[in-house]
């Protein structure tokens, strides 16, 4: 399903789960912006890095936050050596290079970012740089990708419908067990038997309900646990440190997580 | 109904639905500012671009947002090459050029924008530039157009009555099926039979009620779906990606949208 | 009642309704600041322009807004050509010229404006310019006029009693039918019969109650409708565009407005 | 009771009502800061101006507001002619000159003003100027006077107890009828019979209860009414303009005020 | 109990009430920061001034407020004479001099002050100056003292537990009658009989409950009353001005305070 | 359990309680960021200082607060000597030096800090410096450590799940009695019998429930009490000053704490 493409650099490992690679490529061909939805640590960022490498495109990633403004994305004048120099922001750099600009957790960004995203998602595909008066036309290879986690949103932090409707969208979830097993072994070098145990444990932890858990165990945290095990920590200590403590501060919740871990990996 | 006019550039394709072109032209002749109301993706921006081309006027578009201030519209002093240079904002440029300034989603802008919009909507038609002391008189060809989506507004974000009453207003809605069919085929090159299926589907999706949908399927999203189909995606995958996922994050809502899509385009 | 006065420029047309011109002139003679209350579009701004011309005084108008600060009114230092230059704000210009400073919708301005308005409304009539240390004495001909619309106010946006009590106040309302008729004909050149129909319609629309209407049809909007009619639009289309759509986004409310319009001007 | 004092300038007219002049002078001799409480327009500012003249002291008045900060009071660096110049604020000027600094409506000021007021109200009587590192000792003749209106305060806007307890305090109210009569005649030149009518009317209006009145008719507004009468306005029109419209926007409240006025001054 | 210590300057008068002097000295010896809690005007500031003089240490006092930031305490770059000069803030000056930095009403300060207070209260006793990259080590004689009034706090304004736990703490209250008597006579020169009457009155006023009193009569206000009496004011007028009016704006509360005063000092 | 490691400087005293040292070292070897949870004053900061010394790494500590922004961590341009100089922030310094950056109370920091923390916690381990365009790769020895106190958090101040899941986490609590005894003696030189009494008292105070206590007695406060005793204060006075007054302002709560202290250390 992953058709060979000329790739400038070796694509980082990504284990496809369905049509996502073909769909992403079609959107890029049609110059459509893409919205990726999915939980923390499920592989969204890796997927975008993989596709950028396969398509031979530069990738510029921005972690969005409450104070990220349009000027942070577009650029600003800086004073240096006694003169003022314009400094492109990451979005402008991506447009100039004809690469992918990936805005991670885009719902966190300030609302004035819409002023630069909207013209880029029109058929015009323009980036107006108000401060310099420049009006930059995006080359055909430029692509805008945004992501967020729909399971964890403030009431006040959502994409406006008028922004959402400018993207085609795809939903991600945690990988299927076989895929996750391959990811763990590839990323950490852990033995298959141990990796399988961790994947089984992840499934049990993700089915745990009725506790104060904003999110469940991610593939990333499984990788962390495997790495601690590779460094000589006991399975139980590694899982407690990487799979229980990062998820909650509530003693009841942690106790429940630990109970599942202890059942899977009894203390020796 | 679209009387021939001297046009500097070829007007972008716009399929009129009623009197909107004549009304816009009359307002321009009478130097009245215009307010356009309507849902996201129904063609407001395209309409303004079309009219600007037909009237032979430059068009300057501003996507408004929470932090858009009067200074962003009017201009500011920038420091460059050791001296300070005044830099016109988009509104000032439109006034100087005698073109159309189009403020998209004007209700998002900060309230200090009223200080520059009000004198432009009086019979004086002046733009005071406080920072330079300049008082700019708008030429007869200058026109102020604003738009917003009345179906999606914050309580705290509305036009003040004292601002609204300075505009003549027109309401837009999604195009009638035949018009939308023509738009789809013109924009994407899709076959009529497929376009007709998409328009029929859009009607069914727009009639879906009782779900958490801020807005319904726009003409823009139909164009996206058609483009994905033109790139080889299956109809079902294209509709899921372009017509369901962009509209909601609620699993119930998405399931309902997919059910309608599946009924129209059964999986092969 | 409008006693002839030496006027530097031709006074803009204003149709007096009562004692307002004499009262304004007496306040100016006695060096008292004036507060004008009244709905949007009833002619407050035109009245002030008329009186300024009759009294032969320069008029400087400021549309107040949420971010209007004392510095915006008084002035600030600007950097230009490598040196710093003080730039008078509109209030300071009015004081220096001995003219009228008219603050439209004064309740919108930020609270620090009181620091400059209060000394100007004392018997001292001083404008302290903190930034330069200048203490400007207002000449006898200087007059401060403020206005707002009492029918549309935020709870948080009112004049403090300690500010209100520094003004004499007068209330404006929409003109009586005969006056409004004269205004319409004078402003647009519309025929008397059509003007009379519009004035009659305005009376009916203003009596409409029980709907979500922040404000009712203003004289300004009647002028807009007449202008559209002068440009060849049908009466019904002109009224829909100028008298119904600008007033509300609620479909029930618009339907009620349109019903009144249709009764007065049945579709041909 | 007003003991003769060497006065540099003629003291503005002030009609004492009790011990306030002696008390103010004692506080000045003992170097105690003074807080004056009382309604808008009752003569607080005039009293301070009178005492400053009687004591032969310069007076610097600051109308406080929401955005008044310590830097506004103390001073700041300004850029001018290519170099930076320190510019004393009004409080610093008063300390250097050994005069009276009068902060009108001090509760409106921002909280960082306490940082400069507290050391000035200690036995140290110092003004620290952080920005320049200067520590200014107040001369014996320096006096700090603050005022506010306890009848009109926001919940969030009160003096902190730790600030209040640094002042001796006196309460002001509207003058007794005979005193107010003298004030009106002195200020406007109105005939005694008309002045007496206005004072009687003020008493009736001030007794009006049960309406939405933040404050009642002030002596200042009586002076306004008398001035309009001196300019030829009828008594009824002058009272409506100066005593009813400035007090409220509520039609019921205004009607009640007008009813009292009409009873006192029936229309001729 | 006040052991003789080498003192650079004459210590300001302070009447010890218990172990506070020894405890303060022990904390200084052990390089522990001190928190002083107590009502307004009970002598906290005087106590710190007294101890600073007894220990022969420079004292730098900062009245904290809502806008006091870390930069205000540490210092900032100022532009002067065409070049940028670093200007130490009060905390930095105290660290460099090895003196006492006293932050009065520390709960009012902005939260970023913790970034500079925490490292100074660790065993490291460092002051990091981010802006210059300097890392200043506090000399052994440096001491940090903070105070606030626990009886008057906003819900939102408390010391974070992680900050509180970095201080040893002592509670202050109004002095015992004999101590307060000595303070009054020492500070104002008032006769013992009159001072005793004021102290007795203070006791009665402080026992008054059931009224809207944020705080009660402080020793400072008693000093004010005695000073007014020394300036020839009657006891009743002095107490009304210094002990009743500064405490409240509520007429019921003031009446109750005056009733207590009248009972103690009947009008002659 | 504390395996010998080459250490550049003598590690500050730290009494390990379990696997925390091995776990920290494993995380450092695997280049995983670490989150430490635990109450105020339980030794988190000391533990990080100890591990930094054992691993021979530079340690840069930042006390986070409400206004700490990404620019504070990364750096900014400063103007000095007529030219602009880039000044690395503490995080950038730690990355360049390949040391440990310890963000104490990370939940207090502003949200834009995520933009710099996320790329450092990816497998990329990059620090993008937007202002200079530099993209800094963290050397293998660089480690990011953050901490906070889960027992004391604002509702609005938590780590976002997408941030939490980027760390392995460990929980700290107050040391076991024997460990705390050793800490006290090591830090203050107090006799074992007195240290034991303080540890016993701490246990009793920590079991106190039902009072308004945000946090309980920390090891740090026990050290303070011991130091005051070493300076000659009575045990009771030392405990009152170091263990009761710093914990609460509520008289009931303080009385309860004092009752426990008095039972353990009866007044002589």
Q: How far is E237 from chain F (nearest CA, A)?
A: 36
Q: Which of E26, E37, E69 is the closest to F233 by Cβ? A: E26
B220 and B167 in one domain? no
Q: Which of E239 and C132 is assigned the larger pLDDT?
A: E239
Q: Which of C131 and F82 is assigned the larger pLDDT?
A: C131
Out of B11-15, B81-85, B94-98, least confident range: B81-85
CB pairs under 8 A between E and F: 107
CA angle C264/C265/C267 to nearest 5° reads 140
Task: Compute the CA torsion angle C73, C74, C79, C84 (nearest 10 deg).
Answer: 170
User: Could you tell me which chains touch chain D, where touching means 3 or more CB pairs under 8 A?
Assistant: C, E
Q: Which of D150 and B210 is assigned the larger pLDDT?
A: D150
Q: Would you say residue E7 has pLDDT above 80?
A: no
B136 and B213 in one domain? no
CA distances from E60 to B174, D13, E86 (A): 70, 45, 19
Q: How far apart are CA E52 and CA E58, in angstroms?
A: 6
Cβ count near D28 (within 10 Å): 22
Question: Which two structure tokens, joined as six digits, stand for B148?
Answer: 């917003």
Cβ pair C122:D45 closer than 8 A: yes
C210 and C134 in one domain? no
Say how many Å lie between the first and final Cα of chain B, rounded.
45
Chain A partners within 8 Å of F144 (Cβ):
none
Q: Which of D131 and C147 is assigned the larger pLDDT?
A: C147
pLDDT band at D115 (very low <50, low <70, confident <90, very high): confident
Q: Could you tell me what percent of chain A has a pLDDT over 70?
A: 90
In a domain, A4, yes or no: no
Backbone φ and ψ for B101, nearest 5 degrees, come out as -105, 120
Q: How far apart are CA A138 and CA A165, in angstroms?
A: 20
Q: Would you say residue C233 has pLDDT above 80?
A: yes
Q: Is the dihedral of CA C249, C250, C252, C256 positive or negative?
A: negative
Put simply, whether the predicted model's pTM sits higher than 0.80 gets the answer no
Whole-number average pLDDT of chain D: 86
Chain D partners within 8 Å of E87 (Cβ):
131, 133
Report pLDDT for E2.
35
Q: Considering only alpha carbons, which residue of chain D is nearest residue E151?
A: D161
In a domain, F40, yes or no: yes
Report pLDDT for A156.
54
Q: Which of F65, F231, F247 is the closest to E29 by Cβ? A: F231
Q: Would you say residue E83 has pLDDT above 80?
A: no
In a domain, D3, yes or no: no
Domain count along chain C: 2
Out of A73-77, A171-175, E171-175, least confident range: A73-77
Q: Which of A255 and F266 is assigned the larger pLDDT?
A: A255
Cβ pair E161:F214 closer than 8 A: yes
Q: Would you say residue D156 has pLDDT above 90?
A: no
Q: Domain boundary at B152, B171, B190, which?
A: B171
Chain E partners within 8 Å of F79 (Cβ):
77, 79, 84
Report pLDDT for B7.
39
pLDDT band at B28 (very low <50, low <70, confident <90, very high): very high
Q: Would you say residue C71 has pLDDT above 60?
A: yes
Q: Which of C68, C78, C220 is the closest to B112 by Cβ? A: C68
Question: Which two structure tokens, joined as six digits, stand for B60?
Answer: 């300057």
D165 and D66 in one domain? yes
In a domain, F10, yes or no: no
Q: How far is F6 from chain A (nearest CA, A)?
A: 19
Report pLDDT for A264.
85
**Residue range C209-220: average pLDDT?**
81
Q: Would you say residue C208 has pLDDT above 70?
A: yes
Which 3 state secondary structure label does DSSP give A259? helix
Report pLDDT for A84.
67
Q: Domain boundary at E122, E139, E171, which?
A: E171
Whole-number average pLDDT of chain A: 86
B189 and B157 in one domain? no
D69 and D27 in one domain? yes
A129 and A36 in one domain? yes
Q: Which of E35 and B216 is assigned the larger pLDDT?
A: E35
Question: Which two structure tokens, joined as six digits, stand for F174?
Answer: 């107050």
F156 and F75 in one domain? yes
Q: Which residues pair with B171 in a beta bridge?
A: B37
**Residue range A28-37: average pLDDT?**
96
pLDDT digits (tens, 9 = 90+) for E109-152: 877 787 789 889 988 899 988 777 788 999 999 999 999 888 76
In a domain, A12, yes or no: no
E141 and E35 in one domain? yes
In a domain, A184, yes or no: yes
Cβ count near A129 (within 10 Å): 19
**Residue range A158-177: average pLDDT?**
88
pLDDT digits (tens, 9 = 90+) for D30-88: 999 999 999 888 889 999 999 999 999 999 998 887 778 888 899 887 655 556 678 89
User: Residues C248, C254: contact at Cβ < 8 Å?
Assistant: yes
Q: In what order do the strands lie in the sheet with B59-63?
A: B59-63, B100-104, B143-148, B34-37, B168-171
Q: Could you tell me what percent of chain C has a pLDDT over 90?
A: 54
Q: How far apart are CA A203 and CA A230, in angstroms?
A: 21
Cβ pair F166:A220 closer than 8 A: yes
Report pLDDT for F158.
74
pLDDT band at D144 (very low <50, low <70, confident <90, very high): very high
Report pLDDT for E120.
94
CB pairs under 8 A between D and E: 108
In a domain, B106, yes or no: yes
Cβ count near B157 (within 10 Å): 15
Q: Would you say residue C81 has pLDDT above 50?
A: yes
Whole-number average pLDDT of chain B: 86
**Residue range E85-108: average pLDDT?**
92
Report pLDDT for C100.
98
E182 and E152 in one domain? no
In a domain, F5, yes or no: no
Report pLDDT for A139.
97
CA distances from F21 to B79, B225, F41, F55 (A): 54, 56, 18, 11
Report pLDDT for C2.
36
Q: Considering only alpha carbons, which residue of chain D is nearest residue E63?
A: D115
Cβ pair F227:E164 closer than 8 A: no
ipTM of the modeled complex: 0.84
Report pLDDT for C244.
93
Smallest Cα–Cα separation from C236: which of B23, F88, F159?
Answer: B23
Q: How far is E256 from chain F (nearest CA, A)?
A: 27
Out of B149-153, D202-206, D221-225, least confident range: B149-153
pLDDT digits (tens, 9 = 90+) for B158-188: 787 778 889 999 999 899 999 999 999 999 9
User: Could you tell me which chains touch chain A, where touching means 3 or more CB pairs under 8 A?
Assistant: B, F
CA distances from E44 to B227, D180, E224 (A): 76, 46, 17
Tens digits of pLDDT across chain F (268 residues) = 333 333 344 678 888 888 999 999 999 999 999 999 998 888 899 999 999 999 999 999 988 877 788 888 998 876 555 566 788 999 999 999 999 999 998 988 877 787 789 889 988 899 988 777 788 999 999 999 999 888 765 555 678 777 888 999 999 999 999 999 999 999 999 999 999 999 999 999 998 877 767 788 999 999 999 999 999 999 999 999 999 999 988 888 899 999 999 988 876 5
Report pLDDT for E6.
39
D96 and D53 in one domain? yes
Whole-number average pLDDT of chain C: 86
Cβ pair E112:F68 closer than 8 A: yes
Q: Would you say residue D199 has pLDDT above 70?
A: yes
Report pLDDT for F8.
43
Q: Would you say residue B50 has pLDDT above 80?
A: yes
Those residues of chain B whose CB sits closer than 8 Å to some CB in chain C are 19, 22-23, 26-27, 29-30, 32, 35, 37, 69-70, 77, 79, 82-84, 110-115, 118-119, 122, 130-131, 133, 150, 153, 160-162, 164-171
Report the relative pairing of strands E34-37 and E143-148 from DSSP bridges: parallel
Q: Which CATH number characterizes residue E50's domain?
A: 3.40.50.300
The boundaries of the domain holding residue F46 are: 20-171
Report pLDDT for D7.
39
Which 3 state secondary structure label does DSSP give E177? helix
Question: Which two structure tokens, joined as six digits, stand for B81?
Answer: 């090459």
Q: How far apart are CA B32 and CA B167, in angstroms?
A: 7
Question: Which two structure tokens, joined as six digits, stand for A73?
Answer: 């994305």
F201 and F162 in one domain? no
Q: Domain boundary at D154, D171, D188, which?
A: D171
């Amino acid at each position: 399903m992953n058709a060979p493409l000329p790739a400038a650099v070796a694509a980082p490992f990504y284990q496809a789960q369905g049509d996502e690679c073909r769909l992403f490529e079609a959107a890029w061909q049609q110059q459509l912006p893409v919205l990726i939805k999915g939980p923390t640590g499920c592989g969204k960022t890796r997927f975008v890095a993989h596709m950028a490498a396969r398509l031979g495109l530069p990738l510029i990633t921005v972690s969005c936050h409450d104070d990220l403004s349009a000027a942070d994305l577009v650029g600003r004048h800086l004073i240096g050596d006694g003169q003022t120099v314009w400094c492109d922001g990451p979005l402008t750099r991506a447009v100039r290079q004809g690469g992918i600009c990936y805005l991670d957790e885009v719902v966190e960004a300030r609302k004035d970012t819409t002023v630069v995203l909207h013209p880029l998602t029109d058929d015009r595909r323009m980036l107006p740089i108000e401060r310099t008066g420049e009006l930059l036309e995006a080359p055909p290879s430029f692509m805008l990708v945004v992501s967020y986690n729909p399971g964890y949103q403030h009431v006040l932090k959502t994409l406006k419908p008028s922004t959402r409707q400018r993207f085609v969208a795809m939903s991600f979830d945690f990988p299927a067990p076989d895929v996750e097993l391959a990811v763990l072994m590839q990323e950490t070098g852990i033995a298959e038997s141990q990796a399988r145990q961790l994947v089984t444990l992840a499934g049990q932890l993700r089915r745990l309900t009725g506790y104060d858990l904003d999110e469940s165990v991610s593939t990333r945290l499984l990788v962390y646990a495997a790495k601690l095990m590779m460094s000589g920590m006991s399975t139980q200590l590694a899982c407690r440190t990487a799979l229980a403590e990062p998820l909650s501060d509530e003693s009841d919740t942690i106790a429940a997580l630990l109970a599942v871990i202890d059942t899977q990996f009894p203390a020796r």
